[in-house]
Structure 1
Amino acid sequence: MGLKEIVWQRIIEDVLRPLKKPREWKVLIVDHLGTRILSACCKMHELVNEGITVVENLSRVRQPLSKMESIYLITPTEESIDKIIADFSESSKPHYKCAHVFYTEACPDELFQKFSKSPAAKYVKTLKEINISFLPIESQVFSLDYPDILPNFYGSIAQSRTKCMERMAEQLATLCATLGEYPIVRYNRDHESVAEFTQMFQGKLDAYKADDPSMGDTPEKLKSQLVILDRGFDPVSPILHECYFQAMAYDLLPIENDVYRYATNSGPAQTEMEKKALLDESNELWVKLRHEHIAVVSQNVTTELKKFADTKRMAGKDRASMRDLSQMLKKMPQYQKELSRYSLYLHLAEDCMKRFKEKIDKLVRVEQDLATGTDADGERVKDPMKNIVPIMLDQDVSPLDKIRVILLLTFAKNGQSEENREKLIKHANIPTVDREIITKMSRLGVKIDDKDRSRRSKIERRDRSGQVTYQSSRWIPLITDVMQDAIDDKLDTKAFPFISGQQSTGVGMPSVRSARPKKYGWGKDKSAENRTGPRLIIFVIGGMSYSEMRAAYEVSKAKKDWEVIIGSTHLLTPELFLNSLRNLDSNE
Structure 2
Amino acid sequence: MSMSDSDSSSSSSYAADHKSFKQITRERLLHEMLRSAKTGDSKSTWKVLIMDKLTVKIMSHSCKMADITDEGVSLVEDIYKRRQPLPTMDAIYFIQPTKENVIMFLSDMSGKTPLYRKAFVFFSSTIPRELVMEIKKDTRVLPRLGALKEMNLEYFPIDSQGFMTNNERALEELFGDEENNRKGVACLNVMALRLATVFASLREFPFVRFRAAKTLDPMTMTTFRDLIPTKVAAGVWDCLMKYKKTIPNFPQTETCELLILDRSLDQIAPVIHEWTYDAMCHDLLNMEGNKYVHEVPGKDGVPPERKEVLLEDHDPVWLELRHAHIADASEKLHEKMTNFISRNKAAQIQHGSRDSKEMSTRDLQKMVQALPQYSEQIDKLSLHVEIAGKINSIIRETGLRELGQLEQDIVFGDAGMKDVIKFFTTKEDATRENKLRLIMILAAVYPEKFEGEKGRNLMRVARLTDDDITAVNNLRMLGGQPDTKKSLTAAFGGLKFDIHKVVSSFEFKSMIFEYYKIVFHLKIVILSSEEVCCKERPCW
TM range, smaller chain: 0.7 to 0.9
User: 1:103 maps to what in 2?
Assistant: 123
Question: Shift of the alpha carbon at 1:303?
Answer: 2.7
CA 263–202 in structure 1, closer or farther in 2 if over 3 Å, else same: same
1:223 CA displacement: 5.3
The 5 A counterparts of 1:254-333 are: 254-269=286-301, 271-315=303-347, 332=371
Conservation of the 8 A alpha-carbon contact between 1:87 and 1:94: yes
Rounded Cα–Cα distance in structure 2 between residues aligned with 1:459 and 1:194? 24
Q: Read off the aligned partner of 1:16 and give its amino acid letter.
A: L
Residue 244 of structure 2 is matched in structure 1 by 209
| Cα distance in 2, alignment partners of residues 342 and 76 from structure 1 | 46
Structure possessing the higher relative contact order (Cα contacts under 8 Å, 6 or more residues apart): 1
Equivalent of 1:432, from 449, 466, 477? 466
> What letter is aligned with 1:225?
E
Check if 1:242 corresponds to 2:274: yes
Q: Does the alignment pair 1:162 with 2:196?
A: no
- Aligned ranges for residues 395-474 of structure 1 at < 5 Å? 395-416=428-449, 417-447=451-481, 460-462=491-493
Q: Contact (CA 8 Å) 2:93, 2:120: kept in 1 or not?
A: yes
1: distance between equivalents of 2:144 and 2:248?
Answer: 32
1:48 to 56, 61, 69: 69
1:33 to 54, 69, 74: 54
Give 1:227's aligned residue: 259
C-alpha distance 313-199 of structure 1, shift in aligned 2 (>3 A): same
Equivalent residue for 2:531?
none
From 411, 417, 423, the equivalent of 1:371 is: 411
Given the alignment, which residue of 115, 126, 134 partners 1:114?
134
SS of the residue 1:138 aligns to:
coil
**Greater CA deviation, 162-171 or 12-21?**
12-21
1-structure distance, mates of 2:176, 2:64: 38
TM-score by length of 1: 0.69
Corresponding position of 1:76 = 97
Aligned to 1:183: 206
Task: After superposition, give the CA deviation of every residue in 1:437-475 in whole Å (9 maximum; x if it has no partner).
Answer: 001111222449x79xxxx99984356659999758xxx
Amino acid in the other structure paired with 1:116: K
- Stretches of structure 1 that go unaligned for 5 or more consecutive residues are 320-327, 374-380, 473-588
Q: So what's the TM-score if we normalise by structure 2? A: 0.75
Shift of 1:436: 0.2
Q: Does structure 1 retain, via aligned residues, the 8 Å contact 2:123–2:150?
A: yes
Q: What corresponds to 2:232 in structure 1?
A: 197
The separation in 2 between residues aligned to 1:281 and 1:469, in whole angstroms, is: 36
Residue matched to 2:516: none
Per-residue deviation, 1:103: 0.7
- In 2, Cα distance between equivalents of 1:6 and 1:459: 41
Equivalent pairs, count: 447
Give 1:386 deviation, angstroms: 2.9
Pairing partner for 1:12 from 16, 22, 30 = 30
- Alignment check: 8 A CA contact 2:296 2:306 kept: yes
Contact 1:134 1:143 in 2 (8 A): yes
Structure 2 unaligned blocks of 5 or more: 1-18, 215-225, 352-366, 504-540
Q: 1 CA distance for matches of 2:480 and 2:304?
A: 48
**Residue 410 of structure 1: CA displacement?**
2.2
Give the superposition deviation at 1:383.
5.1
Distance 1:64 1:287, change over 3 A: same
Alignment correspondent of 1:386: 419
1:308 CA drift (Å): 4.3
CA change 1:382–1:31 in 2 (3 A) is closer
Give 1:74 shift. 1.3
Structure 1 SS opposite 2:166: coil
The Cα of 1:311 is off from its aligned counterpart by 4.8
Identity of aligned residues (%): 28
Alpha-carbon shift at residue 165 of structure 1 (Å): 1.2
Is 1:73–1:104's contact at 8 Å kept on the other side of the alignment? yes
Which protein is bigger by CA-based radius of gyration?
2
- 1:124 pairs, out of 145, 153, 157, with 145
What is the CA–CA distance in structure 1 between the aligned matches of 2:184 and 2:51, rounded to whole Å? 27
d(CA) in 2 for partners of 1:175, 1:470: 42
What CA distance in whole angstroms lies between the structure 1 residues aligned with 2:67 and 2:151?
A: 19
Question: 1:137 aligns to what?
Answer: 158
